[in-house]
């Protein structure tokens, strides 16, 4: 996906304050015009357009339904959900541009009703895990195209989720639920199927560091080069874990925080920096400060996209024969699960601290919010797999 979302805090323009103001940016970090108009309208008025049908009318002897567009207020959370859903759709338009030479995200107003419904029912329904999520995307795209219709930039589109789509998603949800934990033997198989050092490092960033796929863009070479120098500095011989400050603009909910690389991982990162990455720099003449760079000819030497690691994971996981429901984000779950049990137990397997204390450590490393009561939130607990499940997957009896 070559599209990202960025939140502008306390943005003001021409005497108006926009809060919250969500920007959808393309791979060059420029906002496409029509999505920009839509998100600006959301931020300014906190409303979307809905279709309200009126009484039937007659036009040239034919019966036709009359309707009007009416505003409906939406919450900040709904605005955020709509913007991210729209960004995902625009990312799909870019996928189509790269694979089928179509117009891409700048031509969203020219999408037909059939095309958008195909995206919802055939493409998105296979990427999402719940019918509720699909309904959110339907509402978001309906709001977007109603806005374009209001602006006279697009005809009215009748978007819907077909009954057969809902049935297919329901059937998938009734199947045995998989555990969001990747055992060590599966991780080794995954790494063995990676074709480059960069791919291996991306996977390890998930299960050794706990980074999200989008957060890999937050690894920047100026700060990392400082850590690389520390590897050869005798004053740091006693250090086994090196800290890196992940800036909020690359993190979920703009939440900055520390992430940690052990010495072995950091050494392999330096090896990639001086070999594969340097080759991309030499071939392209790029001055991009992103740590991970693309190597495909068209975008050689540019930073990876938000979903680059997810696509690489899916490709290598399929080749490795991993569970088809696993995703790159499950590597983060794996990191959290193992960290929790490491914090909870000593070398002899006995508990050395309380579960709540171990959860706080996990929440801090995942950069989750700690509640006012000093406890980790329920979001953190959802990352943790039960110890017996983990041991079963690891083949421990």
d(CA 210, CA 310) in angstroms, rounded, equals: 14
Strand runs labelled E in the chain: 4-8, 11-13, 16-18, 21-25, 47-59, 62-73, 241-246, 257-262
pLDDT value at 335 more than 90: yes
pLDDT for position 54: 67
Torsion angle in degrees (nearest 10) through CA of 178, 181, 185, 186 = 60
Q: Which residue reads 């002899």 in tokens?
A: 348
pLDDT for position 176: 47
d(CA 120, CA 135) in angstroms, rounded, equals: 9
Query: What mean pLDDT is predicted for residues 255-273?
Result: 96
pLDDT value at 146 more than 80: yes
- The tens digit of pLDDT for each residue in 18-66 reads 777 888 998 888 999 999 999 999 988 889 999 887 655 554 555 556 7
Q: Which two tokens stand for residue 129?
A: 């895990």
Q: Which two tokens stand for residue 305?
A: 């996209």
The domain spans of the chain are 4-56+64-173, 184-394
DSSP 211: -
Q: Which two tokens stand for residue 163?
A: 């009954």
Look at 22-31, 93-102, 162-171, 347-356 and tell me which has the smallest mean pLDDT.
347-356
Q: What percent of the chain has pLDDT above 90?
A: 55
Return all residues near 140 (Cβ < 8 A) that are at least 6 apart: 81, 82, 83, 85, 86, 89
Query: What mean pLDDT is predicted for residues 278-291?
Result: 96
- The tens digit of pLDDT for each residue in 299-320 reads 999 999 989 999 999 999 999 9
Reported pTM: 0.59
DSSP H or E run through 114: helix 113-118
Q: Is 23:36 a contact under the CB 8 Å cutoff?
A: yes
In order of 89, 94, 122, 247, 285, the CA distances from 117 in angstroms are 12, 17, 8, 37, 42
Query: What mean pLDDT is predicted for residues 222-229?
Result: 97
- CATH number of this structure's domain 184-394: 1.10.443.10
């Amino acid at each position: 996906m070559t599209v990202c979302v960025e939140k502008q805090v306390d943005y003001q323009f021409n005497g108006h304050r926009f809060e919250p103001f969500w920007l959808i940016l393309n791979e060059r970090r420029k906002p496409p015009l029509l999505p920009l108009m839509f998100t600006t309208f959301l931020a300014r008025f906190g409303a979307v357009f809905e279709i309200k049908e009126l009484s039937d009318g007659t036009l040239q002897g034919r019966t036709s339904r009359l309707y009007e567009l009416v505003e409906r207020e939406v919450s900040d959370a709904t605005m955020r959900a709509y913007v991210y859903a729209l960004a995902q759709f625009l990312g799909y338009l870019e996928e189509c541009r790269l694979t089928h030479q179509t117009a891409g995200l700048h031509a969203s107003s020219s999408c037909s009703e059939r095309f958008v419904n195909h995206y919802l029912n055939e493409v998105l329904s296979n990427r999402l895990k719940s019918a509720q999520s699909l309904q959110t995307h339907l509402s978001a795209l309906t709001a977007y195209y109603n806005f374009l219709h209001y602006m006279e930039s697009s005809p009215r589109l009748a978007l819907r989720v077909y009954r057969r789509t809902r049935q297919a998603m329901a059937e998938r949800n009734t199947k045995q639920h998989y555990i969001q934990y990747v055992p060590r033997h599966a991780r080794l198989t995954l790494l063995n199927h990676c074709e480059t050092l960069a791919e291996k490092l991306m996977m390890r960033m998930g299960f050794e560091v706990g980074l999200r796929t989008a957060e890999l863009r937050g690894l920047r070479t100026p700060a990392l080069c400082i850590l690389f120098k520390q590897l050869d500095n005798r004053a740091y011989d006693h250090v086994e874990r090196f800290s890196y400050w992940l800036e909020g603009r690359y993190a979920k909910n703009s939440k900055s925080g520390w992430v940690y690389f052990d010495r072995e991982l950091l050494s392999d990162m330096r090896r990639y920096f001086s070999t594969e990455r340097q080759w991309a720099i030499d071939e392209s003449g790029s001055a991009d400060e992103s740590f991970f760079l693309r190597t495909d000819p068209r975008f050689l030497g540019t930073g990876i996209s938000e979903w680059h690691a997810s696509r690489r994971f899916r490709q290598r996981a399929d080749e490795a024969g991993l569970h088809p429901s696993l995703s790159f984000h499950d590597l983060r779950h794996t990191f959290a699960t193992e960290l929790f049990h490491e914090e909870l137990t000593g070398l002899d397997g006995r508990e050395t601290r309380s579960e709540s204390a171990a959860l706080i450590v996990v929440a801090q490393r995942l950069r989750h919010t700690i509640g006012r009561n000093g406890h980790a939130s329920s979001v953190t607990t959802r990352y943790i797999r039960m110890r017996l499940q983990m041991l079963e997957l690891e083949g421990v009896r």
